[in-house]
Structure 1
Amino acid sequence: MDLNEKLKYIGNINQLWGVRPYELSDGWARKMRAFDVNAGCGLLYTVLPDRGMDISLASFKGNNLVYLTCNGETSPTYYEPEGIGWLHTFSGGLLTTCGLTHLGPPSLDDGENLGLHGRYSTIPARQVADCSSWVGDEYHIKLRGIIEEGRLFGNKLRLEREILSVVGQNSIEITDTITNFGNKPSPYTILYHMNLGYPLLSEKSELEIKPLDTSPRDESALSGLNDFRQFIEPQENYNEQVFFHKMKGNQDGFTQASLLNIELGIRLNIIFNVNQLPFLTEWKMMGYGEYVLGLEPCNVFVKSRKLLREEGELPYLKPQEFVTNKVVISIEELKG
């Protein structure tokens, strides 16, 4: 039955798909805006405008896809910028964006004390809008917002985000346009921190990825270099392993990393373009209660801004220069 036929059976499209806006009211999440999105064919997810239009909860036909930290959905009101204070308000979820002028470990760079992974995910969006509408015979669920990271006498970057799901296609298309709206060149670093969890992630799962090159972050990761595609049951006292993948694109620059779970019959794909995001950071954490796979497209390796500057690898945007990134998350059901 096509969508027009379905409409004959219903009084309101929210019976089948759509966006539900509301405000969270309890604990660390109190007073945060949220949008629950029902993509109409099994995919559900939650967008948090007050966390930079990032995505927290996500599930497919009742199967959870993401890892949530013990913090859960947390208001940016409680953000601690110093050192590793970012972790106190890190909730995980399907997407936590890191950047925009620095990411990675804390450092002192160019006179600034920079905390872990930057400020982006603690900045509320403005001009937030639900722009969902019919496009021909397709219903497009579309959310938009603008996030600005800047200060007087400092760098000024604007990110305009659009999140799109076409009803029935079980995918999330994230389009970000990042502009330097200041009057001097600005460092520009971005990482799409996607956090996959149980039951999608288990010892039954496998990472499908074909990088050009893979390097371990440290000795702990070196010991697991041959097993970065496989996963184990939760372990006591597990040391996290981080791998840096340089990705190979097709003729148009597109590449893909997928997490497959044969037992659930689900494959989650992350599709992006190496011309904008040439690297994928893999965060493999198999600990008790901290059981998560981070798949993180990024424009630089996850190093401090100080180190990137010293190595000549720190990207910049000139005044009024902009870039556009597109990241697609899709869910496939395996046949048979």
Structure 2
Amino acid sequence: MKKTLAAMTISILFSTPVLAQSWLLTDAESGMDKGNWSISSQQLKLDGQPFSIEQKVLHGGKQEGTKVITLRSDNGLTIALSPSRGMDLLHVNGHGVRMGWDSPVDEVVNPAYINLESRNGLGWLDGFNEMMVRCGFEWTGHPVSKDGMLYTLHGKAGNTPASRVEIVVDDHAPHEIRIRGLLKEHTFKKANFSTWTELRYIPGSDSFTIHDELTNQSDYPQDYQIIYHSNFGTPILEKDARFIAPVKSVSPFNDYAKQGLKNWSTYDAPTRGFDEMVFNLMPLADAQGKTVAAVINSKGDKGAAIEFDTHQLPLLTLWKNTDTLKQGYVTGIEPGTNYAYPVTIEKEQGRVKQLQPGQTQAFTLTYTLLKDAQAVQKVEQRVKTLQGANAPQLEEKPLAVE
């Protein structure tokens, strides 16, 4: 009886016509945490594509106490995320292709060991190694001080442990899996944000969806920002790899990036002494506001693509960090509400959004691992269709100066 009622509750909660089974792994309100835990399609006696879900509590070094959830699909993707680190994605693998990168940060660092204010607000870098990290939500962008407050690099969400973590598996084929986490940015006299994050995955698929819902719980309007900092290294990133997206305009983030404006969409081999180059992009979209961006290897037979809604995330940042392999050879595709300038600049230039009391804003992105030339060509064709006959406009002047 209890199982039936729980299934009905989940069905109503997610507005889906199918029943589902759910497991609560963490709940701060009741002080509950399951620690090490696992389940599989075989244990659940589910037909269709086999899968397993496992949570592990890590030990040793700066990852002491960090939790990692790994979803494995035998014929699809293996996706690892950390409830301890903002429900962010650590890496995704499938068909011999990895979505992720090799950071010098080689542990899943517990936020308890990170001081965001160190190095004049760059402490966020002490834990940065994710495939996708949420930058936000109270603010994001480069650090800046104003009125006695230090706005640290890329906000707090990525170093906020989830207060509640749930696993939901549909009873009926294709057995969609949802991994949900509640992030709280609650500060007295400041932000009162609650964000439900959700990873959606159908076993056997080469795509997965991130669906987040940000709610302003306070009685006052509240500014917000979000950048989905999505990072890719080898084997996709290499010499002559390409970035593709339909864009109206491209501008350099700063004077250093102006040097690479002519070749903004192609990549070098690992290069000693290469500082990061960042480009501000204005994406083009279809009639529904949907667009896509991707990074593709030199042969055009593997890559990673991100589809997003420009009504929710109107801007796109391209981060090129083709330094040495040990230093961090990586590129970032970053859909967002804003660019990566400090929040003070973004507010001055009108790119900071606001939520009214009780208002909720959703963000939905779909990531696809491009496993072969056919998958790559499909995305390339979509980009060409959206780009149309007009080439991107290259603007030599940065939008702002830090």
TM-score by length of 2: 0.77
**Counterpart selection for 1:146 from 176, 182, 186:** 182
Q: Tell whether 2:350 aligns with 1:316.
A: no
For residues 19 and 299 of structure 1, the distance between their equivalents in structure 2, rounded to whole angstroms, comes to 32
Q: Following the alignment from structure 2 to structure 1, what is the Cα–Cα distance between the partners of residues 152 and 296?
A: 34
Name the CA distance, whole Å, in 1 between partners of 2:72 and 2:200. 12
TM superposition shift of 1:248? 1.0
Is residue 291 of structure 2 the alignment partner of residue 291 of structure 1? no
Quick one: which of 238, 248, 265 aligns to 1:212? 248
Given that residues 46 and 57 in structure 1 are in contact (C-alpha distance below 8 angstroms), is that contact kept between their aligned partners in structure 2?
yes
Corresponding residue for residue 254 of structure 1? 290
- The 8 Å contact of residues 204 and 261 in structure 1, kept in 2 or not, is answered as yes
Equivalent position of 1:103 in the other structure: 140
Moved more, 210-219 or 254-263: 254-263
> Tell me, what secondary structure is at the counterpart of 1:77?
helix
Task: Indicate if the aligned counterparts of 2:238 and 2:298 stay in contact, CA closer than 8 A.
Answer: no
Matching of residues 71-220 of structure 1 within 5 Å: 71-72=105-106, 73-82=108-117, 83-91=121-129, 93-134=130-171, 136-220=172-256
Task: Give the total of aligned pairs.
Answer: 326
Partner residue of 1:48? 82
- Aligned-residue Cα RMSD (Å) equals 2.0
- Larger fraction in helix: 2
Q: Distance in 2 between matches of 1:120 and 1:237?
A: 31
Offset of residue 110 of structure 1: 5.0
Match of 1:17 among 51, 55, 65: 51
Distance 1:264 1:43, change over 3 A: farther
Please state which structure has a larger fraction of its residues in strand: 1
State the TM-score, normalized to the length of structure 1.
0.92
Distance in structure 2 (CA, Å) of the matches to 1:239 and 1:10: 49
- 1:18–1:141 Cα contact (<8 Å) kept: no
Aligned match of 2:68 in 16, 29, 34? 34
- CA 1:137–1:245: 2 relative to 1, 3 Å: same
Residue deviations 1:257-299, cap 9 Å, x none? 0112254822311000000101111110111122100111100
Q: Is the 8 A contact 1:200 1:264 kept in 2?
A: no
Residue 294 of structure 2 aligns to a residue in which SS?
Answer: strand
Matched, 1:269 2:276: no
Q: Which residue of 1 aligns with 2:342?
A: 304
Contact 1:144 1:162 in 2 (8 A): yes
Counterpart-to-counterpart distance in 1, 2:55 and 2:115: 28
> Aligned AA for 2:264?
F
Which amino acid letter does the alignment assign opposite residue 299 of structure 1? T
Percent identity (aligned): 25
Q: Answer whether contact 1:39 1:170 (CA < 8 A) is retained.
A: no
Higher Cα Rg: structure 1 or 2?
Answer: 2
Report the Cα distance in structure 2 between the residues aligned to 1:266 and 1:107, rounded to whole angstroms.
38
Q: 1:10 to 1:307 in 2, by over 3 A?
A: closer
The question of 1:325 aligning with 2:360 is answered no
Deviation track 1:158-191 (CA, whole Å, cap 9, x = no partner) reads 1101101111211110000001001111110000
Matched residues in 2 for 1:59 and 1:30: separation?
Answer: 24
